Structure 1
Protein backbone atom coordinates (compact mmCIF):
# COMPACT_ATOMS: atom_id res chain seq x y z
CA UNK A 1 0.00 0.00 0.00
CA UNK A 2 1.15 3.54 -0.72
CA UNK A 3 1.40 6.14 2.01
CA UNK A 4 -0.48 9.42 1.57
CA UNK A 5 1.50 11.44 -0.99
CA UNK A 6 -0.17 14.88 -0.74
CA UNK A 7 1.36 15.45 -4.16
CA UNK A 8 -0.17 14.86 -7.58
CA UNK A 9 3.29 14.48 -9.07
CA UNK A 10 4.26 11.78 -6.58
CA UNK A 11 1.00 9.96 -7.20
CA UNK A 12 1.59 10.02 -10.97
CA UNK A 13 5.15 8.78 -10.52
CA UNK A 14 3.86 5.92 -8.42
CA UNK A 15 2.23 4.30 -11.45
CA UNK A 16 5.71 3.04 -12.35
CA UNK A 17 6.15 1.43 -8.94
CA UNK A 18 4.88 -1.93 -7.71
CA UNK A 19 2.03 -1.68 -5.21
CA UNK A 20 -1.53 -2.91 -4.72
CA UNK A 21 -2.95 -0.40 -7.23
CA UNK A 22 -0.44 -0.97 -10.05
CA UNK A 23 -2.51 -3.57 -11.90
CA UNK A 24 -5.69 -1.54 -11.45
CA UNK A 25 -4.01 1.55 -12.90
CA UNK A 26 -2.40 -0.11 -15.90
CA UNK A 27 -5.30 -2.37 -16.83
CA UNK A 28 -7.59 0.57 -17.50
CA UNK A 29 -4.90 2.98 -18.70
CA UNK A 30 -3.91 0.49 -21.39
CA UNK A 31 -7.59 -0.28 -21.97
CA UNK A 32 -8.40 3.39 -22.59
CA UNK A 33 -5.40 3.69 -24.92
CA UNK A 34 -6.46 0.55 -26.78
CA UNK A 35 -9.97 1.90 -27.32
CA UNK A 36 -8.56 5.22 -28.51
CA UNK A 37 -6.40 3.46 -31.10
CA UNK A 38 -9.34 1.31 -32.20
CA UNK A 39 -11.51 4.43 -32.52
CA UNK A 40 -8.89 6.07 -34.74
CA UNK A 41 -8.68 2.88 -36.81
CA UNK A 42 -12.48 2.79 -37.09
CA UNK A 43 -12.61 6.44 -38.12
CA UNK A 44 -10.32 5.76 -41.07
CA UNK A 45 -11.85 2.38 -41.92
CA UNK A 46 -14.16 1.63 -44.82
CA UNK A 47 -17.07 1.01 -42.45
CA UNK A 48 -16.92 4.54 -41.06
CA UNK A 49 -17.42 5.96 -44.57
CA UNK A 50 -20.40 3.76 -45.40
CA UNK A 51 -22.56 3.83 -42.27
CA UNK A 52 -25.16 6.51 -41.61
CA UNK A 53 -24.48 9.52 -39.40
CA UNK A 54 -26.72 8.08 -36.68
CA UNK A 55 -24.83 4.79 -36.69
CA UNK A 56 -21.54 6.65 -36.50
CA UNK A 57 -22.75 8.69 -33.53
CA UNK A 58 -23.95 5.53 -31.73
CA UNK A 59 -20.62 3.78 -32.23
CA UNK A 60 -18.62 6.90 -31.41
CA UNK A 61 -20.63 7.36 -28.22
CA UNK A 62 -19.77 3.84 -27.12
CA UNK A 63 -16.06 4.34 -27.83
CA UNK A 64 -16.10 7.65 -25.94
CA UNK A 65 -17.97 6.33 -22.90
CA UNK A 66 -15.61 3.36 -22.57
CA UNK A 67 -12.55 5.59 -22.83
CA UNK A 68 -13.84 8.14 -20.30
CA UNK A 69 -14.88 5.39 -17.87
CA UNK A 70 -11.47 3.74 -18.02
CA UNK A 71 -9.64 7.07 -17.70
CA UNK A 72 -11.68 8.06 -14.64
CA UNK A 73 -10.97 4.64 -13.16
CA UNK A 74 -7.27 5.10 -13.86
CA UNK A 75 -7.37 8.55 -12.24
CA UNK A 76 -8.98 7.21 -9.09
CA UNK A 77 -6.49 4.40 -8.63
CA UNK A 78 -3.62 6.79 -9.37
CA UNK A 79 -4.67 9.60 -7.01
CA UNK A 80 -6.46 7.67 -4.25
CA UNK A 81 -3.25 7.91 -2.19
CA UNK A 82 -3.08 11.72 -2.46
CA UNK A 83 -5.30 12.74 0.47
CA UNK A 84 -8.69 12.01 1.95
CA UNK A 85 -10.43 14.78 -0.03
CA UNK A 86 -8.86 13.79 -3.35
CA UNK A 87 -9.64 10.14 -2.64
CA UNK A 88 -13.34 10.97 -2.15
CA UNK A 89 -13.55 13.17 -5.25
CA UNK A 90 -11.73 10.75 -7.54
CA UNK A 91 -13.86 7.90 -6.19
CA UNK A 92 -17.03 9.82 -7.04
CA UNK A 93 -15.71 10.46 -10.55
CA UNK A 94 -14.82 6.77 -10.87
CA UNK A 95 -18.43 5.83 -10.10
CA UNK A 96 -19.64 8.55 -12.47
CA UNK A 97 -17.59 6.88 -15.19
CA UNK A 98 -19.41 3.61 -14.55
CA UNK A 99 -22.75 5.40 -14.89
CA UNK A 100 -21.55 7.00 -18.12
CA UNK A 101 -20.46 3.65 -19.55
CA UNK A 102 -23.80 2.06 -18.69
CA UNK A 103 -25.58 4.97 -20.38
CA UNK A 104 -23.44 4.73 -23.51
CA UNK A 105 -23.95 0.98 -23.69
CA UNK A 106 -27.71 1.37 -23.41
CA UNK A 107 -27.91 4.22 -25.92
CA UNK A 108 -25.85 2.45 -28.58
CA UNK A 109 -27.78 -0.80 -28.19
CA UNK A 110 -31.16 0.93 -28.26
CA UNK A 111 -30.17 2.84 -31.40
CA UNK A 112 -29.87 -0.40 -33.34
CA UNK A 113 -32.59 -2.39 -31.55
CA UNK A 114 -35.29 0.09 -32.58
CA UNK A 115 -33.73 1.29 -35.81
CA UNK A 116 -37.09 1.23 -37.60
CA UNK A 117 -39.09 2.59 -34.67
CA UNK A 118 -37.79 6.11 -33.97
CA UNK A 119 -40.57 7.05 -31.55
CA UNK A 120 -39.96 4.05 -29.30
CA UNK A 121 -36.21 4.57 -29.62
CA UNK A 122 -36.50 8.21 -28.56
CA UNK A 123 -38.59 7.22 -25.55
CA UNK A 124 -35.92 4.78 -24.40
CA UNK A 125 -33.21 7.36 -25.08
CA UNK A 126 -35.05 9.72 -22.73
CA UNK A 127 -35.49 7.01 -20.09
CA UNK A 128 -31.81 6.06 -20.20
CA UNK A 129 -30.67 9.67 -20.07
CA UNK A 130 -32.95 10.65 -17.18
CA UNK A 131 -31.99 7.64 -15.05
CA UNK A 132 -28.29 8.04 -15.82
CA UNK A 133 -28.47 11.76 -15.01
CA UNK A 134 -30.17 10.96 -11.71
CA UNK A 135 -27.55 8.37 -10.83
CA UNK A 136 -24.83 10.83 -11.77
CA UNK A 137 -26.24 13.47 -9.44
CA UNK A 138 -26.43 10.98 -6.57
CA UNK A 139 -22.88 9.86 -7.28
CA UNK A 140 -21.49 13.40 -7.06
CA UNK A 141 -23.28 14.30 -3.83
CA UNK A 142 -21.06 13.34 -0.85
CA UNK A 143 -24.01 13.01 1.53
CA UNK A 144 -25.56 10.32 -0.64
CA UNK A 145 -22.49 8.11 -0.05
CA UNK A 146 -23.29 7.99 3.66
CA UNK A 147 -24.81 4.82 5.17
CA UNK A 148 -28.19 6.52 5.63
CA UNK A 149 -28.58 6.72 1.85
CA UNK A 150 -27.52 3.15 1.10
CA UNK A 151 -31.05 2.13 0.12
CA UNK A 152 -31.49 5.20 -2.08
CA UNK A 153 -28.22 4.51 -3.89
CA UNK A 154 -29.21 0.90 -4.41
CA UNK A 155 -32.59 1.86 -5.84
CA UNK A 156 -31.01 4.39 -8.21
CA UNK A 157 -28.65 1.79 -9.64
CA UNK A 158 -31.48 -0.74 -9.90
CA UNK A 159 -33.45 1.84 -11.87
CA UNK A 160 -30.48 2.46 -14.17
CA UNK A 161 -30.04 -1.28 -14.72
CA UNK A 162 -33.74 -1.60 -15.46
CA UNK A 163 -33.59 1.21 -18.02
CA UNK A 164 -30.63 -0.57 -19.63
CA UNK A 165 -32.44 -3.89 -19.99
CA UNK A 166 -35.94 -2.52 -20.70
CA UNK A 167 -35.35 -1.92 -24.43
CA UNK A 168 -33.72 -5.35 -24.73
CA UNK A 169 -36.70 -7.09 -23.15
CA UNK A 170 -39.04 -5.01 -25.30
CA UNK A 171 -37.09 -6.04 -28.37
CA UNK A 172 -37.19 -9.71 -27.40
CA UNK A 173 -40.96 -9.62 -27.00
CA UNK A 174 -41.45 -7.67 -30.23
CA UNK A 175 -38.91 -9.23 -32.59
CA UNK A 176 -37.67 -12.49 -31.06
CA UNK A 177 -34.16 -13.70 -30.24
CA UNK A 178 -32.82 -14.27 -33.76
CA UNK A 179 -34.06 -10.93 -35.12
CA UNK A 180 -32.75 -9.00 -32.12
CA UNK A 181 -29.38 -10.70 -32.52
CA UNK A 182 -29.25 -9.44 -36.09
CA UNK A 183 -30.57 -5.99 -35.22
CA UNK A 184 -28.54 -5.05 -32.11
CA UNK A 185 -26.11 -7.88 -31.33
CA UNK A 186 -28.06 -9.46 -28.49
CA UNK A 187 -25.40 -12.10 -27.85
CA UNK A 188 -22.60 -9.60 -27.29
CA UNK A 189 -24.85 -7.53 -25.01
CA UNK A 190 -25.68 -10.55 -22.86
CA UNK A 191 -22.04 -11.65 -22.82
CA UNK A 192 -21.11 -8.16 -21.61
CA UNK A 193 -23.66 -8.43 -18.80
CA UNK A 194 -22.43 -11.89 -17.74
CA UNK A 195 -18.74 -10.93 -17.88
CA UNK A 196 -19.28 -7.76 -15.84
CA UNK A 197 -21.47 -9.57 -13.33
CA UNK A 198 -18.79 -12.22 -12.86
CA UNK A 199 -16.15 -9.53 -12.37
CA UNK A 200 -18.32 -7.70 -9.85
CA UNK A 201 -18.87 -10.96 -7.94
CA UNK A 202 -15.11 -11.54 -7.70
CA UNK A 203 -14.71 -8.01 -6.36
CA UNK A 204 -17.58 -8.12 -3.85
CA UNK A 205 -16.73 -11.58 -2.54
CA UNK A 206 -12.97 -10.85 -2.59
CA UNK A 207 -12.05 -13.87 -4.65
CA UNK A 208 -9.40 -15.32 -4.65
CA UNK A 209 -7.73 -13.31 -1.85
CA UNK A 210 -10.24 -14.44 0.76
CA UNK A 211 -8.98 -18.00 0.32
CA UNK A 212 -5.27 -17.13 0.29
CA UNK A 213 -4.67 -14.14 2.60
CA UNK A 214 -1.57 -12.17 1.63
CA UNK A 215 -0.89 -14.06 -1.60
CA UNK A 216 -2.74 -11.63 -3.88
CA UNK A 217 -2.06 -8.33 -2.09
CA UNK A 218 -0.14 -6.88 -5.05
CA UNK A 219 -1.70 -8.56 -8.06
CA UNK A 220 -4.39 -11.10 -8.82
CA UNK A 221 -6.99 -9.97 -6.29
CA UNK A 222 -10.67 -9.63 -7.14
CA UNK A 223 -10.47 -5.93 -7.96
CA UNK A 224 -7.78 -6.65 -10.55
CA UNK A 225 -9.90 -9.33 -12.18
CA UNK A 226 -12.91 -7.03 -12.24
CA UNK A 227 -10.85 -4.48 -14.17
CA UNK A 228 -9.61 -7.04 -16.67
CA UNK A 229 -13.08 -8.48 -17.18
CA UNK A 230 -14.55 -4.98 -17.64
CA UNK A 231 -12.10 -4.50 -20.51
CA UNK A 232 -12.91 -7.92 -21.97
CA UNK A 233 -16.64 -7.22 -21.77
CA UNK A 234 -16.25 -3.83 -23.44
CA UNK A 235 -14.29 -5.41 -26.29
CA UNK A 236 -16.87 -8.16 -26.76
CA UNK A 237 -19.68 -5.62 -26.97
CA UNK A 238 -17.69 -3.43 -29.36
CA UNK A 239 -17.27 -6.30 -31.79
CA UNK A 240 -20.99 -6.96 -31.61
CA UNK A 241 -21.81 -3.32 -32.35
CA UNK A 242 -19.40 -3.18 -35.29
CA UNK A 243 -20.93 -6.32 -36.77
CA UNK A 244 -24.42 -4.91 -36.35
CA UNK A 245 -23.49 -1.59 -37.96
CA UNK A 246 -22.01 -3.46 -40.90
CA UNK A 247 -25.10 -5.69 -41.14
CA UNK A 248 -27.43 -2.69 -41.38
CA UNK A 249 -25.44 -1.57 -44.42
CA UNK A 250 -24.81 -4.86 -46.19
CA UNK A 251 -27.16 -7.54 -44.92
CA UNK A 252 -30.15 -8.46 -47.06
CA UNK A 253 -33.13 -6.34 -45.93
CA UNK A 254 -30.90 -4.05 -43.83
CA UNK A 255 -29.46 -1.09 -45.75
CA UNK A 256 -29.09 1.64 -43.16
CA UNK A 257 -32.72 2.69 -43.61
CA UNK A 258 -36.13 1.16 -43.00
CA UNK A 259 -38.45 0.50 -45.89
CA UNK A 260 -41.46 1.01 -43.63
CA UNK A 261 -40.56 4.65 -42.92
Structure 2
Protein backbone atom coordinates (compact mmCIF):
# COMPACT_ATOMS: atom_id res chain seq x y z
CA UNK A 1 0.00 0.00 0.00
CA UNK A 2 2.78 2.45 0.90
CA UNK A 3 4.59 2.00 -2.41
CA UNK A 4 1.36 2.35 -4.38
CA UNK A 5 0.49 5.59 -2.62
CA UNK A 6 3.98 6.99 -3.15
CA UNK A 7 3.85 6.08 -6.85
CA UNK A 8 0.43 7.73 -7.08
CA UNK A 9 1.80 10.96 -5.55
CA UNK A 10 4.81 10.88 -7.88
CA UNK A 11 2.56 10.33 -10.90
CA UNK A 12 0.35 13.27 -9.96
CA UNK A 13 3.37 15.55 -9.56
CA UNK A 14 4.88 14.37 -12.84
CA UNK A 15 1.60 15.03 -14.63
CA UNK A 16 1.31 18.49 -13.08
CA UNK A 17 4.90 19.39 -13.91
CA UNK A 18 4.62 18.02 -17.45
CA UNK A 19 1.55 20.15 -18.10
CA UNK A 20 3.51 23.34 -17.36
CA UNK A 21 6.38 22.61 -19.76
CA UNK A 22 4.52 23.34 -23.03
CA UNK A 23 2.58 26.25 -21.51
CA UNK A 24 5.84 27.94 -20.54
CA UNK A 25 7.31 27.14 -23.96
CA UNK A 26 4.45 28.72 -25.90
CA UNK A 27 3.84 31.52 -23.40
CA UNK A 28 7.44 32.70 -23.53
CA UNK A 29 8.31 31.75 -27.10
CA UNK A 30 9.74 35.25 -27.56
CA UNK A 31 11.85 35.21 -24.41
CA UNK A 32 14.05 32.12 -24.04
CA UNK A 33 15.68 33.42 -20.85
CA UNK A 34 12.34 33.69 -19.02
CA UNK A 35 11.34 30.33 -20.46
CA UNK A 36 14.41 28.66 -18.96
CA UNK A 37 13.94 30.46 -15.64
CA UNK A 38 10.34 29.29 -15.34
CA UNK A 39 11.25 25.76 -16.41
CA UNK A 40 13.95 25.75 -13.73
CA UNK A 41 11.64 27.11 -11.04
CA UNK A 42 8.83 24.68 -11.88
CA UNK A 43 11.27 21.77 -12.03
CA UNK A 44 12.78 22.73 -8.67
CA UNK A 45 9.34 23.00 -7.07
CA UNK A 46 8.35 19.63 -8.55
CA UNK A 47 11.50 18.00 -7.19
CA UNK A 48 10.93 19.56 -3.76
CA UNK A 49 7.30 18.42 -3.69
CA UNK A 50 8.38 14.99 -4.88
CA UNK A 51 10.98 14.65 -2.13
CA UNK A 52 8.45 15.87 0.42
CA UNK A 53 5.84 13.31 -0.64
CA UNK A 54 8.38 10.50 -0.35
CA UNK A 55 8.79 11.13 3.39
CA UNK A 56 7.50 8.11 5.34
CA UNK A 57 4.98 10.07 7.42
CA UNK A 58 3.49 11.95 4.43
CA UNK A 59 0.85 9.23 3.99
CA UNK A 60 -0.38 9.59 7.57
CA UNK A 61 -4.14 10.36 7.58
CA UNK A 62 -3.59 13.24 10.01
CA UNK A 63 -1.53 15.01 7.31
CA UNK A 64 -4.39 15.12 4.80
CA UNK A 65 -4.43 18.93 4.84
CA UNK A 66 -0.66 19.10 4.36
CA UNK A 67 -0.96 16.79 1.32
CA UNK A 68 -3.69 19.00 -0.11
CA UNK A 69 -1.56 22.11 0.47
CA UNK A 70 1.46 20.48 -1.18
CA UNK A 71 -0.41 19.61 -4.35
CA UNK A 72 -2.52 22.78 -4.30
CA UNK A 73 0.54 24.96 -3.80
CA UNK A 74 2.34 23.31 -6.68
CA UNK A 75 -0.76 23.73 -8.86
CA UNK A 76 -0.97 27.42 -7.95
CA UNK A 77 2.71 27.89 -8.78
CA UNK A 78 1.91 26.92 -12.37
CA UNK A 79 -0.40 29.92 -12.61
CA UNK A 80 2.49 32.35 -12.06
CA UNK A 81 4.08 31.94 -15.53
CA UNK A 82 0.64 32.04 -17.15
CA UNK A 83 -0.24 35.32 -15.43
CA UNK A 84 3.23 36.72 -16.18
CA UNK A 85 2.93 35.79 -19.86
CA UNK A 86 -0.47 37.51 -20.08
CA UNK A 87 0.89 40.63 -18.33
CA UNK A 88 3.97 40.71 -20.56
CA UNK A 89 2.45 40.01 -23.98
CA UNK A 90 -1.26 40.70 -23.54
CA UNK A 91 -4.42 38.67 -23.29
CA UNK A 92 -5.18 38.48 -27.01
CA UNK A 93 -1.75 37.19 -27.99
CA UNK A 94 -1.64 34.63 -25.20
CA UNK A 95 -5.17 33.42 -25.95
CA UNK A 96 -3.71 32.15 -29.22
CA UNK A 97 -0.17 31.30 -28.12
CA UNK A 98 -1.15 29.36 -25.02
CA UNK A 99 -4.71 28.28 -25.83
CA UNK A 100 -5.91 30.01 -22.67
CA UNK A 101 -9.56 28.98 -23.08
CA UNK A 102 -8.39 25.38 -22.86
CA UNK A 103 -6.05 26.17 -19.96
CA UNK A 104 -8.99 27.51 -17.96
CA UNK A 105 -11.15 24.53 -18.94
CA UNK A 106 -8.35 22.25 -17.73
CA UNK A 107 -8.22 24.17 -14.46
CA UNK A 108 -12.00 23.83 -14.09
CA UNK A 109 -11.95 20.05 -14.62
CA UNK A 110 -9.10 19.59 -12.15
CA UNK A 111 -10.83 21.80 -9.59
CA UNK A 112 -14.09 19.85 -9.86
CA UNK A 113 -12.25 16.55 -9.45
CA UNK A 114 -10.11 17.71 -6.54
CA UNK A 115 -13.10 19.28 -4.79
CA UNK A 116 -15.24 16.15 -5.16
CA UNK A 117 -12.39 14.06 -3.78
CA UNK A 118 -11.55 16.43 -0.91
CA UNK A 119 -15.15 16.62 0.28
CA UNK A 120 -15.92 12.97 -0.54
CA UNK A 121 -18.88 14.08 -2.63
CA UNK A 122 -21.32 12.47 -3.29
CA UNK A 123 -20.78 9.52 -0.92
CA UNK A 124 -20.57 11.74 2.18
CA UNK A 125 -23.88 13.39 1.28
CA UNK A 126 -25.62 10.20 0.16
CA UNK A 127 -24.25 7.33 2.28
CA UNK A 128 -24.29 3.83 0.74
CA UNK A 129 -25.62 5.20 -2.58
CA UNK A 130 -22.28 5.75 -4.35
CA UNK A 131 -20.20 2.99 -2.80
CA UNK A 132 -19.49 1.25 -6.11
CA UNK A 133 -20.26 3.68 -8.94
CA UNK A 134 -20.04 7.47 -8.95
CA UNK A 135 -17.88 7.93 -5.86
CA UNK A 136 -15.56 10.89 -5.43
CA UNK A 137 -12.45 8.94 -6.41
CA UNK A 138 -14.07 7.98 -9.72
CA UNK A 139 -15.20 11.57 -10.27
CA UNK A 140 -11.62 12.70 -9.63
CA UNK A 141 -10.24 10.30 -12.22
CA UNK A 142 -12.87 11.21 -14.82
CA UNK A 143 -12.14 14.90 -14.24
CA UNK A 144 -8.39 14.30 -14.63
CA UNK A 145 -8.98 12.46 -17.92
CA UNK A 146 -11.17 15.32 -19.16
CA UNK A 147 -8.54 17.82 -17.99
CA UNK A 148 -5.81 15.93 -19.82
CA UNK A 149 -7.78 15.83 -23.05
CA UNK A 150 -8.67 19.51 -22.71
CA UNK A 151 -5.03 20.39 -22.05
CA UNK A 152 -4.01 18.44 -25.15
CA UNK A 153 -6.47 20.42 -27.29
CA UNK A 154 -5.04 23.67 -25.92
CA UNK A 155 -1.45 22.64 -26.62
CA UNK A 156 -2.41 21.55 -30.13
CA UNK A 157 -4.05 24.95 -30.66
CA UNK A 158 -0.89 26.69 -29.44
CA UNK A 159 1.23 24.49 -31.71
CA UNK A 160 -0.98 25.24 -34.72
CA UNK A 161 -0.96 28.97 -34.02
CA UNK A 162 2.83 29.09 -33.76
CA UNK A 163 3.40 27.03 -36.89
CA UNK A 164 0.67 28.72 -38.95
CA UNK A 165 1.72 32.27 -38.08
CA UNK A 166 5.48 32.04 -37.98
CA UNK A 167 7.26 34.68 -35.97
CA UNK A 168 4.83 36.44 -33.63
CA UNK A 169 7.55 38.10 -31.55
CA UNK A 170 7.19 41.88 -31.87
CA UNK A 171 10.84 42.66 -31.12
CA UNK A 172 12.04 40.23 -33.81
CA UNK A 173 9.42 40.82 -36.51
Instruction: Tell whether the structures are fold-level matches, with TM greater than 0.5.
Output: yes
SS state at 2:78 partner: helix
2:92 aligned with 1:178: yes
Match of 1:114 among 28, 36, 61: 28
State the distance in 1 between where 2:54 and 2:107 align. Answer: 25
TM-score under structure 1 length normalisation: 0.61
Q: Is the 8 A contact 1:249 1:256 kept in 2?
A: no
Q: Which residue of 2 aligns with 1:96?
A: 10
Change (3 A) 1:100 1:258: farther
Q: CA 1:246 to 1:256, structure 2 compared with 1: closer, same or farther past 3 Å?
A: farther
Determine if the alignment matches structure 1 residue 129 to structure 2 residue 58.
Answer: no
Verify: 1:166 aligned to 2:69, yes or no.
no
SS in structure 2 opposite 1:120?
helix
When the two structures are superposed, what TM-score results if normalisation uses the length of structure 2?
0.89
Report if the CA contact (8 A) 1:134-1:156 is conserved.
Answer: no
Please state whether the residue corresponding to 1:188 is helix, strand or coil: helix
Pair 1:202-2:106 in alignment? no
**Would the alpha carbon gap of residues 202 and 123 (structure 1) be closer, same or farther in structure 2, given more than 3 Å must change?**
same
Instruction: Return 161-170 or 102-111, whichever deviates more.
Output: 161-170
Q: How does 1:1-261 map to 2 (within 5 A)?
A: 87-146=1-60, 153=67, 156-251=70-165, 254-255=166-167, 260=172
Identify the residue that residue 80 of structure 1 maps to in structure 2: none
1:152 Cα deviation after fit: 5.8
Aligned partners of 1:175 and 1:232: how far apart in 2? Answer: 29
Q: Offset at 1:218?
A: 0.8
Shift of 1:137: 0.7
Q: CA RMSD for the aligned pairs?
A: 2.3
Gaps of 5+ in 1: 1-86
